[in-house]
């Protein structure tokens, strides 16, 4: 796919690191995060003429990422082997700091993907339960229970760490 629009190229150049960090929080895996960003930007590029007129093109991409993730949960996962590794990823200092915090990384990584998505949408994106339910294709009560269980698991992990180190 090639979008010959400098506004799309500028958007990608400016927002790629933030979109990649967002994908890392959702997927907890560099390769899946790269795939997620690429797929979301591909979809966005195909609709760029309409997307760029919206209030928040980045919000559009993030919503696309959440919907892609929700669709992945619903279908069986198939991995494809490749002969050669993909090109190296550009380093992102913000992401590196996040990943260097082993406590945060391991606690969030232990959460199921859907629970991670609910917590990211609620506490990072500051979305309402209704918006989250619509994005993930589930009920509002499911969003509340996922958030409650996720926070409980994070609290338990923090409590265990404090007991072990205290």
DSSP of 24-77, one letter per residue? HHHHSSHHHHHHHHHHHHHHHHHTHHHHTTSS-HHHHHHHHHHHHHHHHHHS--
Q: Which two tokens stand for residue 78?
A: 């198939």
pLDDT at 13: 92
Cα distance between residue 81 and residue 12, in whole Å: 28
Scanning the structure block, which residue is given the tokens 């205290």?
166
pLDDT in tens, the chain (166 residues): 455 678 899 999 999 999 999 999 888 889 999 999 999 999 999 899 899 888 889 999 999 999 898 887 666 656 666 666 666 555 555 545 544 556 666 777 788 888 888 888 887 778 899 999 988 888 999 999 998 888 888 777 766 665 665 5
pLDDT at 54: 81
Phi and psi based region of residue 155 (left: phi greater than 0; alpha: psi -120 to 50; beta: remaining): alpha
């Amino acid at each position: 796919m090639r979008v010959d629009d400098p506004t799309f190229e500028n958007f990608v150049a400016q927002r790629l690191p933030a979109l990649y960090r967002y994908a890392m929080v959702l997927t907890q895996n560099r390769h899946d995060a790269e795939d997620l960003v690429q797929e979301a930007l591909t979809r966005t590029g195909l609709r760029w003429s309409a997307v760029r007129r919206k209030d928040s093109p980045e919000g559009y991409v993030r919503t696309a990422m959440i919907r892609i993730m929700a669709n992945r949960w619903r279908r069986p996962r198939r991995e494809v082997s490749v002969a050669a590794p993909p090109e190296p990823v550009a380093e992102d200092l913000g992401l590196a700091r996040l990943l260097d915090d082993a406590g945060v990384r391991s606690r969030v990584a232990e959460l199921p993907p859907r629970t991670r998505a609910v917590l990211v949408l609620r506490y990072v994106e500051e979305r309402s339960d209704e918006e989250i339910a619509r994005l993930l294709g589930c009920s509002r009560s499911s969003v509340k229970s996922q958030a409650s269980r996720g926070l409980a698991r994070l609290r338990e992990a923090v409590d265990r760490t404090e007991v072990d180190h205290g």
